[in-house]
Amino acid sequence: MQTIKQAVAGTVESSDAQVMILPQAGGLKITLDSSVYDQYGQHIIALIIETAQALGLDDALIKVVDKGALDCTIKARVETAYYRAIGQTTNLPWGCSKWQ
């Protein structure tokens, strides 16, 4: 299990999402508050889980407040919060398969 500290990324501006990652044992837990919950909520939750798993984040509480962000932004905010949580800012694995 990775050592992570609490981290946050993104904003609550329209078309953005704010993602908070908190250390928590026992698997991934997602909370989602979304302005488009009824149409995209399940899709967004699946996307968050998929993105977290691709990063190797298996144990955490991920709290997301979504203001109608597109998928690319939701992914970007999860990834940013993750790299902040593990304290890595350079030499990110751009272009590898898990980043597609």
Where on the chain is the footprint of other proteins (CB under 8 A)? 9-11, 13-17, 35-40, 42-43, 67-73, 75-77, 79-80, 83-84, 89-92, 94-95, 99-100
Specify the residue, 1 or 93, whose C-beta has the smaller distance to other proteins.
Answer: 93
Token pair 């998928």 is found at 71
Specify the residue, 59 or 73, whose C-beta has the smaller distance to other proteins.
Answer: 73
Phi and psi for 94 in degrees, rounded to 5? -55, 150
Q: How far is the CB of 8 from other proteins (least distance, A)?
A: 10
- What is the rounded radius of gyration, in angstroms, for the C-alpha atoms of the chain? 13
Is residue 43 within 8 Å of 75, Cβ to Cβ? no
